[in-house]
Amino acid sequence: MFSPNYFKACLPFVRFACIGFLFVGALCLLRLFVCEPTLGWDEAEQAVIAQQFSAGYLAQPPLYYWLQYLVFQCLGISLFSIALLKFSLIFLCLYFYHQICRLHCQDKLLAWCATLSWALIPNISIDLLPHRTHAVLSLLAACLTWYWLIKPSRLSKSFWYAGFGIIIGIGCLAKSNYLLFLSILLLSALTIKEFRQRLLQRHLLLSLVFICLVSGGYWYWLIDNFATGMSSAFKLSLNNKDLKNGILQLLKAYLIYGIPVGLLALFFPFWRQKVEANSANSLLWRYHLLVLPLLLLIVITANLHDFKAHWALSLFFLSPLLIVSQITKTGYSVKRAKSYLVLCILVQLLILAAWANRSYRLANFPLQPLVESIRKEQQPEVTLVSPSHWLLGSLMINLPAEHGFLLHRALLHKPLPSGRLLIVWKGGEIPEWVDVLVPSSPERQIRKLVVNQVIMASYVYK
């Protein structure tokens, strides 16, 4: 029924599925049973915002929320659902980045050296495990875009350009910094004849059509909800910082992503060799020649007062290939290459151990006593309301609440949900907005959670 060639063709997919299952499963087990059970900020945000489907949300494009919403619909709102999606996306990032390395490097060992170099970039090896959600999706979109552009293809032109448009549409829905990556990539590609000929064709209109089909709904929503969609823009121009700080932070981020470049140059001292020129490696170098000057220009002209290293995740992720792509098959020591791989693996294992033993600052909050206090009252199912997305998300994971409602400055125009509400906030003082929502009266009973004679949280029913 099935020929040997069929099983041979299926083997890569089976291997991919098995490795993915083991990778994602191991990280999920660590997160659920070894790591601190307290939700991180980004995890709590998913529990709150991704409970409903919408064309747009707060300050981030919606694709990650859409994916999380689908997982919640299938598996319920839980820490497992949050971890499963995130670690699956991280695995896909690693997979497609490795495929990119295979295309740029002369052999498999060098490709693995480039792939495992991600362990030496703190914003990838450390930051992505406990933090970041949308940044992971933006990194995946950047990997897909680069891979699709440089990989030799036997697809028809229509299929290739349609796929290119779909990938760009996904990137637009992932995170806004993807547009920076795409702009610099396209500008770099236009300086190379092979890519210029590929991009400047009438079939590119097909890509534009698919970009609009994939991401058009979000752009339409953003036009009507511009203030909500841009509610985090204040982070770019903080009053207590200035342009000098923005420039210094950008240069700091550039150095952080350059860590594996320096180590690779030490392990492979004769890396500058005459590798056979090809368009993919030319694109790699043109891109990195342009990325820092263009980012500096943007920071200066836009008067940005801050620049976080994780914002550049989808811009500098290819930095290890600057060295490894220039090494010939016979121009390096296999022993040195294997030593470098061992170093990368040891670093990542140490990071995993540190992550597993890490205690979140948020873990100091007495969440479980608050949950038990609310459970003891045996109230009927309620909608949770809170100004803290971390507190709201954590309670939604632990209580049988039907929905949660975030009291956010960008959502003040939205009415409160109907039905019975449980309003929760940190501390013992009664904020003004509580008096507005639940006016003072003999029926109003504000409960307080006291730990070591300190009021940690308060809540009231409406």
The percent of residues in the chain predicted with pLDDT above 90, rounded, is 45
Give pLDDT, residue 243: 84
Total domains, the chain: 2
Is 381 within the bounds of a domain?
yes
User: Using 50, 70 and 90 to split pLDDT, how confident is the model at 382?
Assistant: confident
pLDDT at 403 exceeding the cut of 80: no
d(CA 75, CA 197): 46
According to DSSP, residue 276 is labeled P
Residue 9 lies in a domain: no
- Whether 69 and 89 map to the same domain: the answer is yes
Residues 303 and 199 in one domain: yes
Nearest to 312 by CA among 367, 267, 249, 372: 249
What pLDDT, on the 0 to 100 scale, is given for residue 406? 86
Q: Which of 177, 84, 187, 110 is nearest to 139 (CA)?
A: 177
Q: Which residues contact 149 (CB under 8 A, 6 or more apart)?
A: 164, 185, 189, 195, 198, 283
What pLDDT sits at residue 75?
93
Least confident range of 49-63, 113-127, 242-256, 398-412: 398-412
Is the per-residue pLDDT at 236 higher than 70? no
> How many other CB atoms are there within 10 angstroms of residue 119's CB atom?
21
**pLDDT classification of 317: cutoffs 50, 70, 90:** very high
10 within a domain of the structure (yes/no): no
State which of 357, 383, 401 marks the end of a domain: 357
The pLDDT value given to residue 274: 66
Summarize the confidence of residues 307-336 as an average pLDDT: 89
| Structure confidence at residue 238 (pLDDT) | 62
Give this prediction's pTM. Answer: 0.91
Pairing of strands 447-451, 454-461: antiparallel
pLDDT at residue 57 in the model: 82
275 and 137 within one domain: yes
Q: Is the pLDDT of residue 137 over 80?
A: yes
Average pLDDT value for residue range 241-257: 88
Q: What share of the chain is helix, strand, coil (3-state, %, to 5)?
A: 65, 5, 30
Q: What CA–CA distance (Å, rounded) separates 300 from 302? A: 6
Q: Are residues 352 and 368 in the same domain?
A: no
Q: Does residue 286 belong to any structural domain of this protein?
A: yes
Indicate if 316 and 385 belong to the same structural domain. Answer: no
Beta bridge partners of 460: 423
pLDDT at 297: 93
| Residue 40 pLDDT | 85
Residues 374 and 322 in one domain: no
The pLDDT value given to residue 104: 94
Q: Are 104 and 114 in contact (CB under 8 A)?
A: yes
- The model's pLDDT over 218-230, given as tens digits with 9 standing for 90+, comes to 999 988 887 777 7
- Taking the C-alpha atoms of residue 146 and residue 185, their distance in angstroms, rounded to an integer, is 8
> Quick one: pLDDT at residue 450?
83
- Provide the pLDDT for residue 272: 66
Residue 125: domain span:
15-32+39-357
Residues 396 and 450 in one domain: yes
Q: What is the pLDDT of residues 189-216, one digit of tens each?
A: 999 999 999 999 999 999 999 999 999 9
User: 357, 391, 413 — which closes off a domain?
Assistant: 357
pLDDT band at 7 (very low <50, low <70, confident <90, very high): low
Q: How far is CA 78 from CA 38, 391, 398, in A?
A: 12, 15, 8
329 plus 375 within the same structural domain: no
Tokens at residue 105, please?
């490097």
* Residue 402 belongs to some domain of the structure: yes
Tell me whether residue 2 is in a domain.
no
Q: Which of 307, 337, 357 is the last residue of a domain?
A: 357
Query: For residue 1, is it within any domain?
Result: no
CA atoms within 13 A on the CB side of 311: 19
Average pLDDT over the chain, rounded to whole? 87
In this prediction, residue 4 has a pLDDT band, given cuts at 50, 70 and 90, of low
The answer on 369 and 330 residing in a single domain is: no
Task: Name the residue with higher pLDDT: 173 or 440.
Answer: 173
Do residue 227 and residue 137 come from a single domain?
Answer: yes
Asked if residue 7 is part of any domain, the answer here is no
Q: How confident is the model at residue 125 (pLDDT cuts 50, 70, 90)?
A: very high
**pLDDT on residue 98:** 96
Q: Are residues 316 and 382 in the same domain?
A: no
Residues 138 and 229 both lie in one domain:
yes
